[in-house]
Amino acid sequence: RALLRGGVLACTALLLLWAAIFLYGSFYFSCLPPAALLRPVHFAFRCGPPAPQTPCPTDPLPHRPPQT
């Protein structure tokens, strides 16, 4: 009798584990977007107009080619 109860308990535990893994996988593949890099972004830092008391800003600015 105890062997039967242990077998039922083990089968129930395996069924619950399988259901949890299946539901997690279905949620993961249906709700989370794929990880993809669309295009690289390059940041550069530049200072404002030259002046002795003007510090460099700490905000990143998009890279722009030097003007000629």
Output 57 or 12, whichever has higher pLDDT. 12
Is the model's pTM score more than 0.85?
Answer: no
Sequence spans of domains, the chain: 1-32
Average pLDDT estimate for 22-36:
83
Question: Alpha helix (H) ranges present in the chain?
Answer: 2-31
**Distance (Å, whole) CA 62 – CA 39:** 14
Answer whether 43's CB lies under 8 Å from 63's CB: yes
Q: What pLDDT, on a 0 to 100 scale, did the predictor assign at position 30? A: 84
pLDDT, one tens digit per residue, over 32-45 is 777 666 777 777 66
What percent of the chain is predicted at pLDDT more than 70? 59
* Residue 63: partners with Cβ closer than 8 Å, 6 or more residues away: 42, 43, 44
**Distance (Å, whole) CA 65 – CA 67:** 6
In the DSSP assignment, the letter for residue 52 is T
